[in-house]
Amino acid sequence: EFPDYPFPTGVLSSFLSGPCIYKYLEGYTEQFNIAKYIQFRSLVTNVEKVDDNWKVTYMKTDTKQNVTEECGFVVVANGEFTAPHVPYFAKQEDFKGKMLHSHDYRDLEDYRGLRVLVIGAGPSAFDLAAHLVNVTSMFIHSHHLIADIQEVYGNYKHKPDIKHFTPTGAVFVDNSTEEFDVAILCTGYTYSFPFLNYQSSGVTWSKEYIMPLHNHLININHPTMTFVGAAKYTLGLVRDRQGHYSAQLAAGLIKLPSKDDMFKQWFKHAKHLTPKIINFIGYDNTDIYTNPLLNGTDIPRIPEVFSNILRTQEPSWYSQFLTYREYQINILNDT
């Protein structure tokens, strides 16, 4: 929930559906007349540093016209859920059924009565399990997660990792086999910034990381660029505060440390980490990350209670993945 726009009265669930969140965001846009500031039907194709400004080129998708503008500040906000990670599985080309990434999942009715395999043990995989287990004729869940996972009976089957696909299903690493109609890959996402000019941007990135960023947000080499939502495992609340911070930084209301000091802080953070986790914050570290970031600003802090809720509730995402969305969480104070 945004600090300046509470959910409408009557929304009682603590775990909101996608359509409910979409409606909330539409309401927020209408309340603050934001649409007039959004350039719709525009695909950014190039962002490069030119002297003290950024040259941004985008294509109007309806007319195919290319437009270039110069900006003093750029916020990159395509986040970490843009480019699906699609690993290769042995003999997957032999499989005659349908294979898709969870990014492309839309409607449970498309899978009613089918035999479905879901690969992965992240939030998307368990969300799909909750969506599909009661409408599919067989739900097969392949993962190697070691956790206290809710016992499910009926048409739910847990399987280990896949050894290889077959024309009608798969062989798993324990040499057991299953047949299914659809395979859904819940295998995560990768960083993707195809529009950034690599030579002038001042940042380095791969599928697993982007660096160097001060406070998981600010391009150290060119602090007139921020990356809202690039930090892994964060809440919408965090991205909202990053957006407010970026706006105040662009307006000249925030004074950053020197470039040398930002690099010293970044190296201290990064020296013991592998690139894969260098952008990791964690859902339950919301307040630990945002409070130092927001020091010296008038941006509202995120109450500690939200991190505490996540610390206590995250295990239930696995141990009670079919039922935890029914919980009602009542917040009594900020801690």
Task: Tell me the two tokens of residue 307.
Answer: 């991190």
Q: Average per-residue pLDDT in the chain?
A: 93
The secondary structure element, H or E, covering residue 309 is helix 304-313
Three-point CA angle 105, 46, 197, nearest 5°: 105
| Burial profile 242-271: b = 16 or more Cβ within 10 angstroms, e = fewer | bbbbbeebbeeebeeeeeeebeeebeebbe
Domain 39-82+190-302 and domain 86-187, same fold? Reply is yes
Q: Which residue has the tokens 């990768």?
A: 190
Q: What is the pLDDT of residue 267?
A: 96
**Residues 62-87 pLDDT 10s:** 999 999 999 999 999 998 898 999 99
pTM, whole model, 2 decimals?
Answer: 0.91
Three-point CA angle 265, 266, 272, nearest 5°: 105
Q: Where are the domains of the chain?
A: 39-82+190-302, 86-187
Q: What is the pLDDT of residue 330?
A: 87
Report the CATH number of the 86-187 domain: 3.50.50.60
Report the CATH number of the 39-82+190-302 domain: 3.50.50.60
